Amino acid sequence: MADVEVLGAGIFGLAIAWSLTERGARVRLIEKRHAGAGASGGILGALQPHVPDPWTPTKAFQRDALALHPAFWRKVAAASGIDPGYRRIGRILPLADERAVALARRRAEAATRHWRGLGSWRIVPAERFAGWAPPSPTGLLVHETLSARIDPARACRALAHAVIARGGEIVRGEAGSGTLPLIDARGHEGLAALGRELGRPVGGGVKGQAALLAHDAEGLPQIFMRGLHVVPHPHGVAIGSTSEREWSREGVDAALDTLLDRAREAVPTLGDAPVLARWWGIRPRALHGRPLLGPHPARDDVFIANGGFKIGIGLAPLVGRLMADLVLEGRADIPAGFLPENALRTE
């Protein structure tokens, strides 16, 4: 017997199922492949806040989600016996010119106002991270301490084991029973299905590619510059990620080679580090670029949790909590712009 069904065992579906079991609900998680089979089970694992200026409700939501990660993953690890690889390692960003320095100073003030002491955004000499930081024309970097990393595949596996340990079940399938409340968290496939139901596009899949290099940078912060992420893990350094709205085939392709060339040029210490793994996946992006969280706009007892795109893992602990509130108690403090009935309203 189950109280609630969750369709899709990506990071949103898994986090929701875990939050429901924590609240005492009996959960059936339905997945046609395996936990973390899609974009959620990648290798990059960068948990980064958006820049703190200008400030928006989406950035406030992301901040609140990032604040939940330490306790969230401690509980999941304890229940599952699997270390998800979470660690707050911070991030550095090179500053190209004086305009970038001035902008970084404004963002430092905004971080003090909006991050509520969760992390800092400071300008530091590049020499502080000599041998790791990319060349900085100004000799300065931003060092922010809110960013963290996680091993996405291990995190999904840990959540799946934790759900089962709490009495939930994970079954193979592609649809709910039709007799229980259902949370649809199927990623880009779920967006396509929702579009078909509503008779218009509501979002789609964006291809992403990443790689893992055999290089030891454990203990160092991740790097971000012009769309390039360099993330140290205990088992290597992850490089990501492409963002391809137009793509013709599945699998890794030349776009990943281009990204690797950029990474080696930007971070010379990576040198000729061998490639341990290459990854690709299709990430779900709603039309407006924000998540869709809330009741299905046309079906009773069906709820949508989708559109995490690049920040889905970062948002997952808060998404899990709010969707559990909504389904079990009929209330949730979900931003109005995330509710499907608002976000998908036709003009």
Span 293-322, pLDDT tens digits: 999 999 999 999 999 999 999 999 999 999
Preceding omega of 57 cis (within 30 degrees of 0): no
Please choose, from the candidates 173, 157, 174, 177, the residue with its C-alpha nearest in 3D space to the C-alpha of residue 2. 177
How many whole angstroms separate alpha carbon 229 and alpha carbon 212? 12
| In the chain, where the domains are located | 4-51+58-63+152-203+287-343, 88-146+206-282
Q: What is the distance, to the nearest Å, from the Cα of residue 242 to the centroid of all Cα atoms in its chain?
A: 15
The structure tokens listed for 187 are 């990623």
Residue 260 φ/ψ, nearest 5 degrees: -65, -40
- Position 343 scores a pLDDT of 85
Residue of 27, 344, 28, 35 lying closest to 187 (CA atoms): 35
Tokens of 321: 């909590």
* 88-146+206-282 has CATH 3.30.9.10 classification: yes
By CB atoms closer than 10 A (0-12, 13-18, 19+), residue 103 is middle
Q: Which amino acid is at 263?
A: A
Checking if the pLDDT of 286 tops 90, the result is yes
Give residue 119's pLDDT.
97
Tell whether pTM > 0.95: yes
- pLDDT at res. 347: 42
Across the range 105-132, mean pLDDT stands at: 97
pLDDT the model gives residue 344:
83
Report pLDDT for 45: 98
> Is residue 339 pLDDT above 60, yes or no?
yes
* Domain 4-51+58-63+152-203+287-343 superfamily per CATH: FAD/NAD(P)-binding domain (3.50.50.60)
Dump pLDDT digits (tens) for 13-44: 999 999 999 999 999 999 999 999 989 999 99
The pLDDT assigned to 346 comes to 57
- The letter for the amino acid at 83 is D
Average pLDDT over residues 151-179: 97
Q: Are 294 and 339 in contact (CB under 8 A)?
A: yes
Angstrom distance (rounded) from CA 257 to CA 263: 10
Question: Residue 116 gets which letter from DSSP?
Answer: T
Is 38 within 8 Å of 23 (Cβ atoms)? no
Mind listing the pLDDT tens digit for each residue in 221-238? 999 999 999 999 999 999
- pLDDT of 200 higher than 60: yes
Q: Do domains 4-51+58-63+152-203+287-343 and 88-146+206-282 have the same CATH topology?
A: no
As a whole number, the mean pLDDT across the chain is: 96
Asked whether the beta carbons of 328 and 20 are under 8 A apart, the reply is: yes
Each residue's pLDDT tens digit, 232-257: 999 999 999 999 999 888 999 999 99
